[in-house]
Amino acid sequence: MINDNSVIFKGSKDGLIILLSPDIDFNNLKTILEKKVEDAKDFFKDAKTSIMFKGRDLTEEEEYQLLQIITDKAQLNVSYIYDEKSSMEPSKSMPADKFNDGRIQIDQTKYYKGTIRSGQCLEFDGSIVVIGDVNPGGEIYAGGNIIILGSLKGIVHAGCKGYDKAFVAALAMNPMQLRICNIITRSPDNQAYNTHSKTFPQIAYLYEGNVYIEPIDYKLLDNL
Partner 1 sequence: MSQVIVVTSGKGGVGKTTTTANIGTGLALKGYKVVLLDADIGLRNLDVVMGLENRIVYDLIDVLEGHCRVKQALIKDKRYSGLFLLPAAQTRDKNAVNPEQMQKLCDQLREEFDYIIIDCPAGIEQGFKNAIAGADRAIVVTTPEVSAVRDADRIIGLLEASELRNPTLILNRIRMNMVKRGDMMAMEDVVEILAVDLLGVVPDDENIVISTNRGEPAVTNPDSLAGHAFRNVVERILGNDVPLLDLDISEGFMGKIKKIFGIGN
Binding site for partner 1 (CB under 8 A): 92, 118-121, 136-137, 139, 176-177, 184, 186-187, 189, 193
Q: How far is the CB of 156 from partner 1 (least distance, A)?
A: 12
Closest approach of Cβ 171 to partner 1, in Å?
A: 20
Nearest to partner 1 of 54, 92 (CB atom): 92
CA-based torsion, 69, 70, 74, 78: positive or negative? negative
Question: Nearer to partner 1 by C-beta: 78 or 156?
Answer: 156
Q: Cβ of residue 114: shortest distance to partner 1, in angstroms? A: 17
Q: In what order do the strands lie in the sheet with 146-152?
A: 109-113, 127-131, 146-152, 167-173, 202-207, 210-215
**Are 151 and 131 contacting, i.e. CB atoms less than 8 angstroms apart?**
no
Whichever of 73 and 153 has its CB closer to partner 1, that residue is: 153
Rounded least distance, CB 220 to partner 1, Å: 25
Q: Which helix (H) or strand (E) holds 218?
A: helix 218-223
DSSP string covering 65-131 = HHHHHHHHHH--EEEEEE-HHHHHS--SSPPPPTTTTT------EEEEES-B-TT-EEEESSEEEEE
We find the least distance from the C-beta atom of residue 121 to partner 1, in angstroms, to be 5
Nearer to partner 1, 55 or 136 (CB): 136
Is the CB of 81 or the CB of 116 nearer to partner 1? 116
